Amino acid sequence: MTEANRIKVMLVDDQNMIRQGFGYILSLQPDLQIVGEAGNGNDAVKMAEELHPDVILMDVQMPFMDGIEATKRIMAQQTGVKIVILTTFDDQDYVLEGIRAGAVGYLLKDAEASDMIEAIRAAYRGEAIYKTKLASGALQEAIASASLSAPDNVLQVKLLEPLTEREQEILQEMAYGLRNEQIAAKLFITEGTVKSHVHRILQKFGCEDRTQVVVMALRGGLVK
């Protein structure tokens, strides 16, 4: 693979050893290229403007400017960059603020290296990756407070097949945070029917769980 075809990755973390470790792991991937490293949010914003990376792995707690604020500022400058929050804290507030700021992923630093690599590739493809225990709760809070109103950095969502009218209806209820039995009661259908539709929705989005689907749908403007 030529250098021009590689995914340009920028690492942002205030711990040098963390950056070195992640950089070594990612450098072994033929489709990834480390284009820059920053140790705080201020440097991250400046470096992103200069280097135009495809994907940024962003720590949260850093000196001078935290990762959430840096994400907001970078997204205001470059809507095409994809930012994945990578932190030691499985904190619902961090997940929520990361979503609001425009991050398309949230991973813990103790995740498998393969998960981090796939998250970068998925982010580059325009997919959303939120795989923490508290991500679902953060999403529901965001939806309930109507805090995820149409961001400027809308994701391009490519479905394997178009959604049917019923699937679109169920997807909207999923985005409101309703469980299968609640959706069934609201739409006057059986819970088994809802489960079948949800399974098909996940297949069409190419996602493994409801959280990923809802994030993609919200960020892609497919639901309110």
**pLDDT tens-digit series, residues 128-172:** 676 655 555 555 555 444 444 444 455 566 788 889 999 999 998
Query: What span, in angstroms and rounded, lies between the C-alpha atoms of 84 and 151?
Result: 17
What's the maximum distance between 2 C-alpha atoms anywhere in the chain? Answer: 56
Q: Each residue of 94-130: pLDDT tens digit?
A: 777 887 788 888 888 888 888 889 889 988 887 767 6
pTM here is: 0.65
SS3 state of residue 208: coil
**pLDDT at residue 141, as a whole number:** 56
Angle at 83 between CA 38 and CA 95, to 5 degrees: 105
